[in-house]
Structure 1
């Protein structure tokens, strides 16, 4: 079985993954305890974390599964258009998990087929995954989670994780060669705009700018952390950008498919004038943390940024949004006019 595990790991590396490990499905058993601890520390986020309990009964949900193949892929190799930095989080711009045009996605399909050709049943979910990804990756010894709650390898935190359930009991565990956070370092917590990182290794998703600007934040005008969102329209990079363990980790040596072309359609002003077919058919598949029925959030978030960092050039665009076809956008625009005293 060791030989078979080595074959899978080597093939993952051949398909562009930085690391690959294999753990027994029973190694996830301790995840429930971690979830319970998180909710105890942040009780107001119980509703958010409740959905994560689906990962605590994997053997009941997938009785055929014996092991988890967990892989790390680096994304800090891609060029990011300058005008989108600080507005859309970098990872979402180069997310290859569902982008069929990306080599990362194609390599993932090839790796999955390789395991199936070996005779395995291998299943995944190319989004949020079928297993607790960071927990599984730590169990496989592929890296560590730092104080900002992101998973790190030697490449820093500009990596994402993919995992497959397989029906063979295999194991391949590494010893991570990553220096832990200094006890004295609190840069990520100090920099967090909304104090979501109130303690090391603890994150309040209710306050997290990335969460509020994507799948949360349904009432932005009354959002508690509206001002702390600053210039972010989708996601947030602050705690990763200030981390000394990420210094010089972003290489920007490759172009992500179609990103440069898409970036030319994106600015605060252009978002407010996007028609909903473009938002649903182009933006949503790319930035899928906002579902198709909620693409109005792009415009609401853009108005919020305009209010947070108002310039006179925004006036006409906010007034224009008062006639938007979506009531949420109209309400946000009207709120902004009163807030900024534009009448």
Structure 2
């Protein structure tokens, strides 16, 4: 078997099916990544969404019988939308990060990996393949870096020379002895713009992220958002693009190669008020195809309430009062109470005082007190 020719054939086929970049890596254990993951765990910097077994995340032989190589792919996604809707007083809007634009990227990358796998197995029928995207065992970023897709930036994203960091990653382990590509040199240099711009200081140092402080993670949690972060997330409903948008390597990077990735402006930048009243069915119908919907409507609604507080949107007070009084979920009721205090005004204050006498849940009562404290501070000022 001429594996050099097979590699070239795979590269050519990948271009035909719309894979923007492909690279090849050895299947040796990722020793350096293992050390990083252990350190992350020791420091308590993990999000909890990761695959639990560190050894399986760094050693392909533990999840695949006799691996010989790994093929990594990247799909470029858009960074700008045409005619984005603008929020205004009375019609405030939230924002989904770019990685949630269009159809769920897990589905899109898996489709490309499946096409590629079918082609390879047609060429070499005895080929064994295991593909994964994001939620698989291996660390996508480590594989992409070894395969020469890009270098690992200080913002913990893979940065490609061609598309910046606006790429989705996926990989497949194979039993084929394909020649590995050379990793790229780090091109971040002395730049620290991403570290300096991180709203919560989640990038503790170059290449090290405290996921517990990362807005991309925080917007996906389902409990009360810690107080210190409520003023940091702004109108973000899901995810955060700050460390990518400030990166000089992303300047001018905007690619529209895949129609399924194109954003629906009214969905990725939706009006906030209607989000407060969505049923589960309505949420799935509107947002269900997006990667940003995977945690359900609760985090999105909580974040929408915080966004209204961020804007101090007085036109939404009556809706927030209704949420505080009628929603069955303590996190949503309590966040609405906090938001009412943040927005202020007599209607909000009256509603909080009434709720204080009726509410039974301790966590919600705590948020009502926080809301009322804003009025005390206002009087003291």
Q: Name the SS of the counterpart of 1:20 in structure 2.
A: strand
Residue in structure 2 matched with residue 45 of structure 1 by the alignment = 45
Structure 2 CA distance, aligned partners of 1:31 and 1:284? 34
Q: Is the 8 A contact 2:77 2:258 kept in 1?
A: no
Deviation at 1:199, TM superposition (A): 1.4
1:9-158 pair list within 5 angstroms: 9-39=11-41, 43-46=43-46, 48=48, 51=52, 53=54, 54-76=56-78, 79=81, 82-83=84-85, 87-94=95-102, 96-99=104-107, 106-118=111-123, 119=125, 120-154=127-161, 155-158=163-166
Structure 2 CA distance, aligned partners of 1:224 and 1:265? 25
After superposition, the Cα gap between the structure-2 partners of 1:28 and 1:12, relative to the gap in structure 1 and judged at 3 Å, is farther
Deviation at 1:142, TM superposition (A): 1.9
**Does residue 233 of the first structure (1) align with residue 240 of the second (2)?**
no
Q: Is the 8 A contact 2:94 2:271 kept in 1?
A: no
After superposition, the Cα gap between the structure-2 partners of 1:78 and 1:189, relative to the gap in structure 1 and judged at 3 Å, is closer
Aligned match of 1:328 in 321, 328, 331? 331
RMSD: 2.9
Structure 2 CA distance, aligned partners of 1:29 and 1:64? 18
- Which is further off, 323-332 or 225-234? 323-332
Structure 2 CA distance, aligned partners of 1:110 and 1:230? 40
Structure 2 CA distance, aligned partners of 1:306 and 1:94? 25
Unpaired runs of 5+ residues, structure 1, are none
- Rg larger for: 2
- The Cα offsets for residues 128-155 of structure 1, whole Å up to 9 and x where unpaired, read as 2342111111111221011111111111
Q: Is the 8 A contact 1:284 1:291 kept in 2?
A: no
After superposition, the Cα gap between the structure-2 partners of 1:89 and 1:267, relative to the gap in structure 1 and judged at 3 Å, is same
Deviation at 1:196, TM superposition (A): 0.6
Structure 1 CA distance, aligned partners of 2:289 and 2:311? 28
Count residues with an aligned counterpart: 332
- The Cα offsets for residues 183-240 of structure 1, whole Å up to 9 and x where unpaired, read as 1x221111111111121111110000011002x35212x3432211122111011111
TM-score (norm 1): 0.85
Q: Is the 8 A contact 1:75 1:94 kept in 2?
A: no
After superposition, the Cα gap between the structure-2 partners of 1:252 and 1:142, relative to the gap in structure 1 and judged at 3 Å, is closer
Residue in structure 2 matched with residue 189 of structure 1 by the alignment = 195
Unpaired runs of 5+ residues, structure 2, are 87-92, 350-381
Structure 1 CA distance, aligned partners of 2:269 and 2:192? 37
TM-score (norm 2): 0.77
Structure 2 CA distance, aligned partners of 1:5 and 1:219? 50
Aligned match of 1:305 in 301, 304, 307? 307
Structure 2 CA distance, aligned partners of 1:288 and 1:3? 40
Q: Is the 8 A contact 1:124 1:130 kept in 2?
A: no
